[in-house]
Amino acid sequence: MKHISKKIPEYKQELVEVFSKIHGDKNLMKEFLTDVLTPAEFEGLALRWQIVKKLNKGETHRSVAGDLGLGISTVTRGSRELRNKNGGFHLMLKKLSK
């Protein structure tokens, strides 16, 4: 399996390129995500985004965990990522607020 792991960065870059080609086509994005992710992965991704949005609005970790039915540790991870002002969560929230 080691020979495959060396190609993971290349595979990740290709996936980024695929997502960039989908830009603006919501139906294609939904279909692609439905096909590439398991239902549990898609749900987890959706929940992770909700965590970030709620924390960004100033909601407490406990409140977010309770509202979404998640553990505090899951919410804390989202909080750590959100603190990175150059990270993807922060940048996307900034872009969406324009």
Q: Are residues 5 and 45 in the same domain?
A: no
Q: Are residues 60 and 97 in the same domain?
A: yes
Q: Are residues 49 and 88 in the same domain?
A: yes
> Any idea of the CA torsion for 64, 88, 81, 9, to the nearest 10 degrees?
130
Please give the Cα distance from 59 to 50 (Å, whole number).
Answer: 11
Q: Are residues 12 and 42 in the same domain?
A: no
Q: What is the average pLDDT value for the chain, to the nearest integer?
A: 92
Q: Are residues 49 and 68 in the same domain?
A: yes
19-25 average pLDDT score: 92
Q: Are residues 22 and 47 in the same domain?
A: no
Residue 1 has pLDDT above 80, yes or no: no
Please give the model's pTM, rounded to 2 decimal places: 0.83
Q: Are residues 53 and 30 in the same domain?
A: no
Number of neighbours of residue 74 by Cβ within 10 angstroms: 17
- pLDDT tens-digit series, residues 68-84: 999 999 999 888 888 88
Q: Are residues 44 and 54 in the same domain?
A: yes
Contacts of residue 16, defined as CB under 8 A and 6 or more positions apart, other chains included, come to none
Please give the Cα distance from 70 to 68 (Å, whole number).
Answer: 6
Print the domain residue range for 76.
38-98
